[in-house]
Chains A and B, each alone.
Chain A
Amino acid sequence: MKSLIVFLCLVMSCMVANAAKTFVYCSEASPKIFNPQLGTDGPTFNASSRPIYNRLLEFKAGTTEVIPSLAESWTVNDKGTLYTFKLRKNVKFHTTTFFKPTRSFNADDVLFSFDRMRLKEHPYHKVNGGLYQYFDGMNMGALLKNIKKLDDYTISFELTKPEAPFLANLAMDFASILSKEYGDFLAKKNQKDKIDLEPVGTGPFIFKKYVKDNVIRYTANKEYFLGAPNLDNLIFSITPDANVRFQKLKAGECHFIAEPSPADIPKIESDKKFKVESADGLNVGYLAFNTRKKPFDNVLVRQAINLALNRDAYIEAIYLGKAKKAKNPIPPTMWSYNKNVKAYEYNPEKAKKLLAQAGYKNGFSAELWTLPVSRPYNPNGKRMGEMMQADLAKIGIKIKLVTYKWAEYLKRAANGEHTLLQLGWTGDNGDPDNFLNTLLGCDAVENGSNFAKWCDKKFQYHIEQAKIVTQLDQRIKHYMKAQEIFKNQAPWVTLAHSTVFKAMSKKVKGYKASPFGAESFYGVVLE
């Protein structure tokens, strides 16, 4: 009898072990395409670059730390203009029903991937629209002087000028590595467009099928160079409505849901079957002054408004307490964050005095543009605008709230038509340059992402120096100084750094929430 029980137990444990582990992620939107070089949105990155592809360098799970991936090691010359990468050997591209690779990853694939984006004459440059928004937006074309294959497993990137954030840039989604062999195979069949629709990468999951607006299927890459994933199948069930995603989680139709509504977080936390994991978001919500328009060209006015806004109240009402009050333009989790900068306290009396000192004793009237879309850095722009209107009325500033449709809002703001503008930013690569230079640098005034239209010579000097020097301690010093200048000159009111929440079944183990808000299910175990 005992032996029979042991036998039955063994059979049952074998059955459990053999049962395919299928993980269902209820995502919020359809991917636009399966190539991160051509995308800019979270759903596209979550469905392509994270499961399917790798990059030369990656961000360590749950952090902004850059670690080796397809590149095992690298060296930088003294000038900081030549980066040489040693590539990992025996990394296999996916074998799928539509392509069987005959060779492992090598330098040709790196050249193919970057040349597609940077060279207009490349046979794949114009395929599927040929809009490489991140690559172009970050001016990578102008930065990359040359990319040279030194041997099959060594490749060098020559830059036109020193650029310290370059390594972090290479860990971004758009820098994913595609298979040249697959590209050649499709070109021969005259089916180049399929490279971005039926993707082949080196990542932990193999693309199987996409049913438009419905479901994406992946299988585990058992030959993944960092070890096979713990899941056998990965499914993205596309569910656009946040309420319905929550109901699907409750009904057991998905293990993990994208972007839970902040109002549902307490309900999910209180249910024993689910858990919520959070990470400090790599973001900032702000109110920008158009420093080229009166009276916001006057630093005293800007400081007065900083003192007049009760940001604690906004965090409670708008972010439901799930955010940190911001004092710097970069989030506290980012290296070089200046803890010593003194935040503007809520002090309407002092604000009134500063206004009087600036020559506006009786206040003035101004327009405040409220964010027309919900973003993690500002979930309800209109409500926040109303609260700001009430706060500013106390110091004599009459605010008229204005808003436009999102595209129109961005266009008019880029043209500098605003006076006070709500906006925010979610970081791409964990480098302070991605906030301080992208949002506050003098070049960004023309680029349209410096909405304060603020160009301060001293600030500019420090952020430029921080790009040139490669020693981290030197970069930190420059960024610390830049934050002090920013605080004193107050081109923005820094509002909040919101927390990123992830809701999932308790069966999900080993998930690490990314500060970028990205979803990666490699390393996840389903119990």
Chain B
Amino acid sequence: MIKILRQRFFAFFPTLLGVSLLAFSLIRLAPGDPVMLMLGERGGTPEVYEKMRTSLGLDQPILWQYLKYIGQVLTGDFGTSIVSQRPVLEEFFDRFPATVELGLSGMIFAILLGVPFGLISAAKRKSPVDYTLMGGALLGYSMPIFWWALVLIMFFSVNLGWTPVSGRVSVMYDVEAVTGFLFIDSWFSEDSWEIFKSGLHHLLLPALVLGTIPLAVVARMTRSSLLEVLREDYIRTARAKGLNEKRVIVTHALKNALIPIVTVIGLMLGTVLTGAILTETIFSWPGIGRWFVASVEARDYPVIQGGIILIALTIMLVNLIVDLIYVWVNPLLREHS
């Protein structure tokens, strides 16, 4: 475990440097000038244009801009957003809790349903239940998220009135942001239980939509991984010993089948925790995905650069945690490390 931590620590700086260089150069290579976007149809005299470029620091040589930026990042300063004029780090952490709440909920939904679905499919291989579940998983994986979200909104929110259309909590509740996590902050408020319920209510559809693709992937991965393990000799031995099928699968097979499942979950967790652009846009969820897209549209260079680095850091952290879990799950690796 310590070896893994040491490896990751040494890989951290070159990765960060590579990511920052990519982020910095890609956004500048893409067509589009932030000053022109700010000027819009109105245009501006060459003096106004230059004044704006200077105040945004875009008049400096690119290499100098990059070196200055790296120097700032190393001191924890990720720059200031061109659009909001607020520090990028502050903007990121104002939105990150919302993304974490949604991402984790989506993943919990995916795991809670995906693993059992995969188990049932593997146990009832080539049965109508297997075909139905795997057909459903394929459908879930290939469904256009935008369309799926709108269908759910129209059915559950507008026709049945069971869930709210969008938002994180009812606008009627003024929740004081203490941690930024609604489900924690709600307990510091007067109507704590009501706010908690409203938050949960608002989370249902976005978590379901965000969790749909991970659910399909987890279910399919569980099934195939389990089927692989079920062919092993020790499973045959277990069956020969007269253990019932449920015990064979749950106690003996699942543990070993978990390794690829954890890997997949880790990868998907990294993705959902770094902003689900479509889900956040449709459900008006105030997370980092939406913020990031708006910043790309506005060519908000500091936010794009800083955002990519922060997202990369989040993914690296999630991967590290997954690797540590991996070691814990896989006895071979544990012994090796």
Contacts and interface: CB of A to CB of B under 8 A. Distances in A.
Nearest to B44: A137
A406 B281 CA distance: 21
A239 interface: yes
A244 B282 contact: yes
B22 interface: no
B240 interface: no
B291 A213 contact: yes
B335 interface: no
B251 interface: no
B3 interface: no
Interface in B262-308: 281-284, 286-287, 290-291, 294, 299
Interface stretch (B35-43, B129-137, B314-322): B35-43
B45 A131 contact: no
B75 to A, nearest CB: 20
A405 interface: yes
Contacts of A253: 164-167, 171
Q: Which among B55, B86, B167, B299 has the highest number of chain A CB atoms within 10 Å?
A: B167
Q: Which among B30, B45, B86, B94 has the highest number of chain A CB atoms within 10 Å?
A: B45
Nearest to B150: A243
Interface residues of B, number: 56
A40 interface: yes
A251 B174 contact: no
A286 B161 CA distance: 44
Contacts, number: 148
Contacts of B168: 214
Interface string A214-228: 110100000000000
Given A211-B177, A241-B282, A247 B167 contact: no
A238 B284 CA distance: 7
Contacts of A405: 30-32
A449 interface: yes
Interface string B230-266: 0000000000000000000000000000000000000
A138 B200 CA distance: 49
Interface in A14-37: 22, 24, 29-30, 32-33
Contacts of B61: none
Interface in A229-284: 235, 237-241, 243-244, 247-248, 250-251, 253
Interface string B28-59: 00111110111111111110110110010000
Interface of B: 30-34, 36-46, 48-49, 51-52, 55, 80, 82-86, 91, 94-95, 98, 150, 153-154, 157-158, 161, 164-168, 171-172, 174, 177, 281-284, 286-287, 290-291, 294, 299
Closest 5 pairs (CB-CB, A-B) = A448-B43, A449-B43, A407-B32, A213-B286, A214-B286
